[in-house]
Amino acid sequence: MKPIIAITMGDAAGVGPEIIAKAMADPDIRERGKIFVIGDLRRLRLAMDVVSSPLELRAITDPSDIVDDPAVIDIIDIDCIPEDLPWGRLSAEAGHGAFLFIQKAVELAMAGSIDAICTGPLNKEALHLAGHAFPGHTEMLAELAGVKEVSMMLTAPNMRVIHVTTHLGLVDAIARIDGDRVYRTIARGHDLLVKSGMENPRVAVAAINPHGGENGLFGNGEEAAKVQPGVDRARAEGMDVVGPLPADTLFMLASRGDYDLVVAQYHDQGHIPVKVLGLKNGVNVTVGLPFVRTSVDHGTAFDIAGKDIVDHEPLLEALRQAGDLSPDRSGDA
């Protein structure tokens, strides 16, 4: 059985509605899952007019109502966007709508009605204008799902990278890393891949210092003190984990297929190789939620919203990853 995937519209004044309208017309992506939209129906209809979509738009009240017809876009209508909202303009209404779309998606995911959420881009300033003080999607999803800690995983062609730390300065990131945090990150990534059907994922953990520290020559023993305990604990639990390995060669080995998952220690260590390999096809995955969440790795692009020039390929890739990472439903009744 196909996984059930909800696309949330994101900020309705941005490119989210357009990329959804374009992506839902792709017959190949419709084979990847039973895909429907959570958003404002009138706004999606307007976006469909912008991109000259030939599809039919159909309101549903529950994922069980999905017709799974490639000529139809099913949508749970959260009627909250003013009909005259201009494209490309910051607004509290669009920020509040983005929150409501996510809130409904999490409700369905926590109830087991859907397998994955694929999020359209939101605008953090609009979110804050609406009174929702979240730094972004990740923190909002974690709070709504009641989860204290999650990890960011980026995917690109031939590579998956999960991060021990993300939005911290380098000095602060190194201070934050310890064996427990490294272990939890390994375990979260390993668990996600196992649930998606990968029997024994091969995981490689990056070192912090150049050349893996060269046995203490570089750095202050961070590999032994901060990284190795987490690797050892994961290995003791039966996970196929190696490291800490020098990052300058590790990513090359991963890109040729030696490893299924790389554990990066800090933001740029993981982001740079992924974006070099495929900025257009990069996908952001939130790991540690009780459901799959993927996202396009771009923003609301207010400057081109409503002009039918946005590329929807990143959303197609995010939907592919949502389908690939979703639990196997073949045993369901």
Look up the CATH number of the domain holding residue 254.
Answer: 3.40.718.10
Q: Are residues 266 and 180 in the same domain?
A: yes
Average pLDDT score, the chain: 93
For residues 65-88, average pLDDT = 95
pLDDT at 107: 97
Q: Are residues 295 and 188 in the same domain?
A: no
Query: Residue 264 is part of which domain span?
Result: 151-275
Helix then strand count (H, E) for the chain reads: 13, 12
For residues 138-153, average pLDDT = 92
Q: Are residues 9 and 42 in the same domain?
A: yes
Q: Which residue has the higher pLDDT, 279 or 295?
A: 295
Name the residue among 158, 171, 184, 169 with its Cα closest to residue 254. Answer: 158
Q: What percentage of the chain reaches a pLDDT higher than 70?
A: 98
**Residue 243 carries which side chain, given as an amino acid letter?**
G
Q: What is the pTM of this model?
A: 0.87
Q: Are residues 12 and 135 in the same domain?
A: yes
For residues 170-198, average pLDDT = 94
Structure tokens at 302: 């207010």
* Number of independent structural domains in the chain: 2
Asked if residue 297 belongs to a domain, the reply is yes
Q: Which residue has the higher pLDDT, 100 or 215?
A: 100
Name the residue among 217, 117, 231, 140 with its Cα closest to residue 178. Answer: 231
pLDDT at 329: 56
Task: Give the Å distances, CA to CA, from 254 to 18, 133, 204.
Answer: 34, 37, 8
Q: Are 120 and 6 in contact (CB under 8 A)?
A: no
Other beta carbons within 10 Å of 190: 26
Q: Are residues 11 and 126 in the same domain?
A: yes
